[in-house]
Amino acid sequence: MQCLNLPDDVRQVTLTWRCQGYTVGFVPTMGYWHEGHLSLIRAARARCAKVVASIFINPTQFAPTEDLARYPQDLERDLALAQEAGVDVVFCPDAAAMYEPGHGTWVEVPELSQGLCGASRPGHFRGVATVVTKLFWIVLPHVAFFGEKDWQQLAIIRAMTRQLSCPVEICGCPTVRESDGLAMSSRNVYLTPQERAQAPALYAMLCHLRDLVAAGERRVDVLRTSGQQFLAQHLPLARLDYLEIVHPETLAPQREATSPALAAVALFLGKARLIDNLRIA
């Protein structure tokens, strides 16, 4: 396995692979790997002859008030996991290798970026779409793998690649959960034991909504009220950011939870902001 820091070095390797007829799979990450990241690597390994992963805490997707400075990192451990998982190249640039001084070119998908997480994290998805575009130009992958936990991010990256005619296939992979249902996230490390004990109620609430829909309840206002009550009862330490029922592709809020419908939720729990989603119809 090679660990490369410079964009040109990565591109040279992947260009050679492409010329040799290999399929290149790419897993972009911000590091501090867990089972969720490893499931993306495994999906890439299964589909592609060569696998590149990136580890880059992208500053442009963090607001000044957010956790950029304390985002968890353990590069040595990530590299050991990458090696074990059969990654061929890990791309670990520093910020200067990714952004020249005065960087001013941005990629935006406004129609999908305004609601849900975009409402409380203005500029976040502009930073994500821009860095993913740059990473695609550096790595030149045939297929890129993203987790469905970040559903809005995945929808935005799909739209971005389609609208920019970018020749990368986007592969969404299922959310990986702890045994108690909590979606795996690098940010779970921020949770205190008390917060961690309540956190599984986030997924339990989504399952509760799915069960209500299966039992015939379609009214979104009733479902949202029930979800909010569930969280108030089982996750009292949290402050709800949003609970929405949306169309899974357009992300448009639904009036009725008729198929296809996705419940998406975000809340603040201590120092962490947790997100999750579930198809409920």
The residue ranges that bind ligand PAF (CB under 6 A) are 28-30, 58, 61, 128, 131-132, 150, 153
Instruction: Report the C-alpha gap between 251 and 151 in whole angstroms.
Output: 9
Shorter beta-carbon distance to ligand PAF: residue 30 or 207 = 30
What is d(CA 89, CA 92) in angstroms, rounded to the nearest whole number?
10
Choose between 89 and 220: whose C-beta lies nearer to ligand PAF. 89
Closest distance of CB 268 from ligand PAF, Å: 19
When computed from its CA atoms, the radius of gyration of the chain, rounded to whole angstroms, is: 19
Catalytic option among 34, 37, 103, 234: 37
Rounded to a whole number of angstroms, the distance between the first and last alpha carbons of the chain is 43
Give the separation between CA 262 and CA 260, rounded to whole angstroms: 7
Comparing CB distances to ligand PAF, the nearer of 95 and 119 is 95
Identify the three-state secondary structure at position 99.
Answer: coil
Per DSSP bridges, beta strands 24-29 and 143-147 are parallel
Task: Decide the pairing of beta strands 2-4 and 24-29.
Answer: unpaired
Distance CA 271, CA 281 (A): 32
CA 275/CA 117 separation, integer angstroms: 9
Give least dist CB 124 to ligand PAF, A.
Answer: 9
Least gap, CB of 128 to ligand PAF (angstroms): 5
Return the number of the residue (151 or 203) whose C-beta is nearest ligand PAF: 151
- Residue 260: is the preceding peptide bond cis (ω within 30°)? yes
Catalytic site includes residue 37:
yes
Residues taking part in catalysis: 37
